[in-house]
């Protein structure tokens, strides 16, 4: 009871205190800067034509492809990214700083550059890609797999960063205790570490998924643009903008709605993780 009172009293005091103006003004400008463009989309949306535009098969095709590819890219990121994050957080090896820098590079690289890099590596004529063609007959550009690869390339660093941060914050002594009790290092990771860092993994996965959903530059450069196969929503929005801005706004609204729904739905996990 007493404890409750103090907590509430503290909360009331915090609420009553006026924030200093030099912080409040830029904070509100910052908020407006991020929110006003999104509100503008709502203001300019061609609401009357919206149902017609959104029920067109092309839009559904692009949305479906976007959701499937972003989810697959997130799965790829989980399977490869969590072990990578573990390696960076829990092991010592020479050049680890460099490896971490390389892993985070796609975060700052313009996505188009990522697409060009993927094309020179995995393209039909690429450094690795030419062997994929001659040995296995696999070509990746212009395929849905290419979209997943492009999205994973751009999104995985978000997951790795997030999981590595959580791993560093998690106490390694639980793992050590498990290994001294006879568990192998992999068992300790699977049974102890993984449940411990689950919120961090979830947060990283959401971040990666959202990034993959919005991916444009690497996708259009590496996978091209073909409706139903490689045309994701951002590509559809970009091309619609060339000829029919109203349609582009409608498509943007769909993407906005999907993103908000997902972020809002996962908010609790998101909050506990951060």
Query: Given the rule CB under 8 A, which residues bind other proteins?
Result: 119-120, 123-125, 141-142, 220-221, 223-227, 230-231, 235, 238-240, 242-244
The DSSP call for residue 223 is T
Q: Does an H or E element contain 20, and which? A: none
Helix (H, G, I), strand (E, B) or coil at 2: helix
Q: How far is CA 80 from CA 147, 151, 163, in A?
A: 17, 14, 12
Nearer residue to other proteins within complex by CB, 90 or 124: 124
Nearer residue to other proteins within complex by CB, 199 or 217: 217
Nearer residue to other proteins within complex by CB, 6 or 242: 242
Find the distance separating the first CA and the last CA of the chain, reported in whole Å. 29
Nearer residue to other proteins within complex by CB, 107 or 244: 244
Nearest-approach distance from CB 142 to other proteins, in angstroms: 4
Torsion of CA 162, 168, 174, 177, to 10 degrees: 130
Q: Is 20 exposed, middle or buried (0-12, 13-18, 19+ CB in 10 A)?
A: exposed
Nearer residue to other proteins within complex by CB, 61 or 104: 61
**Residues constituting the chain:** 274
Nearest-approach distance from CB 122 to other proteins, in angstroms: 10
Nearest-approach distance from CB 251 to other proteins, in angstroms: 13
Nearer residue to other proteins within complex by CB, 46 or 224: 224
Q: Which residue has the tokens 């049974």?
A: 191
CB atoms within 10 A of CB 38: 12
Nearer residue to other proteins within complex by CB, 99 or 138: 138
Q: Is 87 exposed, middle or buried (0-12, 13-18, 19+ CB in 10 A)?
A: middle
Nearest-approach distance from CB 194 to other proteins, in angstroms: 40
CB 233 within 8 A of CB 54: no
CB 248 within 8 A of CB 237: yes
Nearest-approach distance from CB 51 to other proteins, in angstroms: 22
Nearest-approach distance from CB 81 to other proteins, in angstroms: 27
Nearest-approach distance from CB 123 to other proteins, in angstroms: 5
């Amino acid at each position: 009871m007493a404890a409750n009172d103090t907590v509430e009293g503290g909360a009331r005091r915090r609420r009553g205190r006026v924030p200093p103006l030099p912080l409040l003004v830029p904070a509100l400008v910052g908020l407006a800067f991020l929110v006003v463009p999104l509100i503008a989309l709502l203001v300019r949306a061609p609401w009357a034509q919206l149902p017609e535009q959104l029920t067109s098969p092309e839009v559904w095709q692009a949305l479906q492809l976007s959701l499937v590819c972003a989810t697959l890219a997130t799965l790829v990121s989980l399977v490869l990214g969590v072990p990578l994050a573990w390696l960076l957080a829990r092991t010592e090896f020479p050049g680890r700083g460099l490896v971490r820098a390389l892993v985070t590079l796609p975060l700052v690289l313009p996505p188009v550059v990522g697409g060009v890099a993927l094309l020179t590596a995995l393209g039909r004529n690429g450094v690795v890609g030419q062997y994929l063609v001659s040995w296995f007959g696999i070509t990746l550009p212009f395929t849905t797999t290419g979209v997943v690869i492009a999205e994973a390339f751009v999104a995985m660093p978000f997951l790795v960063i997030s999981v590595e941060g959580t791993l560093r914050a998690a106490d390694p002594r639980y793992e050590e205790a498990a290994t001294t009790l006879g568990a192998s290092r992999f068992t300790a990771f699977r049974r102890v570490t993984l449940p411990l860092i689950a919120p961090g993994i979830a947060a990283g996965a959401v971040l990666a998924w959202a990034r993959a959903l919005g991916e444009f530059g690497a996708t259009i450069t590496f996978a091209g643009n073909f409706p139903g196969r490689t045309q994701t929503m951002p590509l559809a929005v970009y091309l619609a903008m060339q000829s029919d801005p109203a349609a582009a706004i409608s498509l943007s609204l769909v993407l906005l709605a999907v993103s908000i729904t997902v972020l809002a739905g996962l908010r609790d996990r998101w909050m506990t993780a951060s």
